[in-house]
Amino acid sequence: MAKTNTNIAFLFPGQGAVPETPLSGFFSTSIAATYDKFASPETPALRHFQQSSIDSDKSAQLGVFHLSLAMALEALDYCQPDVVSGYSSGLYAAMVAAGCLTHKQGNDAIELAYRGVQGSSTGYVMVGVIGLHFAKVVEILNQLPTPGELSLVNNKSQVIVSISQADLCLFQNRCLADEALKIVPLPFTYPYHVAGLAGVSADLNVFFKSLHLPPLLVPMVAGKNPEYIHRDATRIASLVAEQLHQTVYWNKTIQCLVENGTKTMVVFDPTATLTRIIRWISRQINTIGISTMDDFNQLRGL
């Protein structure tokens, strides 16, 4: 189908986009066939891709990676992206969608990063904080017996932090005393986007350089201070590797996309969580969440 405008972003979710129940609506579709075609031996079977069956961060990341790419491939029957990006580990899928990584190379990058994170575990847990300004959250993190880290900023009052398990109760109490709406421990085995993973970032960047990546076919946005990159795959690879040990500012990514002309954001997230996050950032953005087969109909005419 011919494209009628030039302002569409494809966005890919991170490892939290694991559905609560199996995605039965996809089982007999081309999405399932694509998922099975590219999945590695350690990727969870689509019929068992649900929260109760996921036993590791790697399993979650691989499942989300292959499923979101299969959904994006289906979407190409309706529209073409003008730019791509991803939330946290969703950047690996964005690199594939941008044409500078193959499915297998993206899969290998996830597995390499996971092994590095395993070997560099800091003993931290990841916790979501809702309803408290991130500046106040940072103040509380710095006052903990073991100072915590700001890992992801979704918007000014919704963040994810990494803290010592021993400090979890104290952190919860201090946030709630400052009138946070909710504190949510996340089901991740290891912390991500923390300073202790700088070595893992370096190893991942070496891996990317060994691939001699081709230029981007579609522009991509990535980085702690998000950059809009048109062709330079080496720069994108560096930004993606660096995010492992840096705070991710998703709100800034959305702002960068908007400032560069994006009008419609197509989000491949079976849980619709990332779609909601974007809508919390701005209700003015035309956000199309793809969570079921019926949702693809929203793409007609883009």
DSSP per-residue string spanning 51-86 = GGG--SHHHHHHHHHHHHHHHHHHHTTT---SEEEE
Instruction: Kindly state whether residue 3 falls inside one of the protein's structural domains.
Output: no
Residue pLDDT, tens place only, 118-133: 998 778 999 999 999 9
Residue pair 74/31 in contact by the 8 Å Cβ criterion: yes
Number of domains in the chain: 2
For the chain, percent of residues with pLDDT exceeding 70: 98
Q: CA angle, 96 as apex, 233 and 186 as ends, to 5°? A: 105
Q: Is the pLDDT of residue 54 over 60?
A: yes
Instruction: Kindly state whether residue 129 falls inside one of the protein's structural domains.
Output: yes
Instruction: Kindly state whether residue 60 falls inside one of the protein's structural domains.
Output: yes
Judge if 26 and 151 occupy the same domain: no
Q: What gap in Å lies between CA 256 and CA 250, rounded to an integer?
A: 10
Judge if 181 and 211 occupy the same domain: no
CATH of the domain at 140: 3.30.70.250
Residue where a domain stops, chosen among 144, 163, 185: 185
Residue where a domain stops, chosen among 137, 157, 185: 185
Q: What is the pLDDT of residue 4?
A: 40
Q: What is the DSSP letter of 10?
A: E
Of 96, 104, 102, the closest CA to residue 68 belongs to 96
Judge if 162 and 257 occupy the same domain: no
Can you tell me the mean pLDDT for 289-301? 94
For the chain, percent of residues with pLDDT exceeding 90: 92
- The 3-state DSSP class for residue 229 equals strand
Instruction: Kindly state whether residue 131 falls inside one of the protein's structural domains.
Output: yes
Q: Given the structure tokens 């011919």, which residue do they identify?
A: 2
Instruction: Kindly state whether residue 169 falls inside one of the protein's structural domains.
Output: yes
Q: What is the pLDDT of residue 121?
A: 74
- The 3-state DSSP class for residue 153 equals strand
Q: Is the pLDDT of residue 66 over 80?
A: yes
Q: Is the pLDDT of residue 284 over 90?
A: no
Average pLDDT of every residue of the chain: 94
Residue pLDDT, tens place only, 266-279: 999 999 999 999 99
Judge if 199 and 279 occupy the same domain: yes
Domain that holds residue 133: 124-185
Q: What is the pLDDT of residue 301?
A: 84
Q: Which tokens belong to 288?
A: 């199309």
Instruction: Kindly state whether residue 210 falls inside one of the protein's structural domains.
Output: yes
Residue pLDDT, tens place only, 2-53: 344 459 999 999 999 999 998 999 999 999 999 999 999 999 999 999 999 9
Q: What is the pLDDT of residue 240?
A: 98
Judge if 128 and 235 occupy the same domain: no
Q: What is the pLDDT of residue 6?
A: 54
Residue pLDDT, tens place only, 243-264: 999 999 999 999 999 999 999 9
Judge if 162 and 231 occupy the same domain: no
Judge if 163 and 205 occupy the same domain: no
Q: Is the pLDDT of residue 1 over 90?
A: no
Write the CA distances from 206 to 65, 112, 137, 221, integer angstroms: 21, 11, 34, 21
Q: What gap in Å lies between CA 202 and CA 100, rounded to an integer?
A: 19
Judge if 211 and 224 occupy the same domain: yes
Judge if 78 and 178 occupy the same domain: no
Residue pair 267/275 in contact by the 8 Å Cβ criterion: yes
CATH of the domain at 67: 3.40.366.10
Instruction: Kindly state whether residue 2 falls inside one of the protein's structural domains.
Output: no
Q: What is the pLDDT of residue 36?
A: 95
Q: Is the pLDDT of residue 94 over 70?
A: yes
Reported confidence tier of residue 55, pLDDT bands at 50, 70, 90: confident
Instruction: Kindly state whether residue 71 falls inside one of the protein's structural domains.
Output: yes
For residue 227, the surrounding DSSP H or E stretch is strand 227-229
Q: How many residues does the chain have?
A: 302
Write the CA distances from 172 to 12, 149, 209, integer angstroms: 30, 15, 41
Judge if 68 and 95 occupy the same domain: yes
Judge if 115 and 223 occupy the same domain: yes
Residue where a domain stops, chosen among 132, 163, 185: 185
Q: What gap in Å lies between CA 187 and CA 268, rounded to an integer?
A: 21
Q: Is the pLDDT of residue 77 over 50?
A: yes
Residue pLDDT, tens place only, 169-216: 999 999 999 999 999 999 999 999 999 999 999 999 999 999 999 999
Judge if 290 and 160 occupy the same domain: no
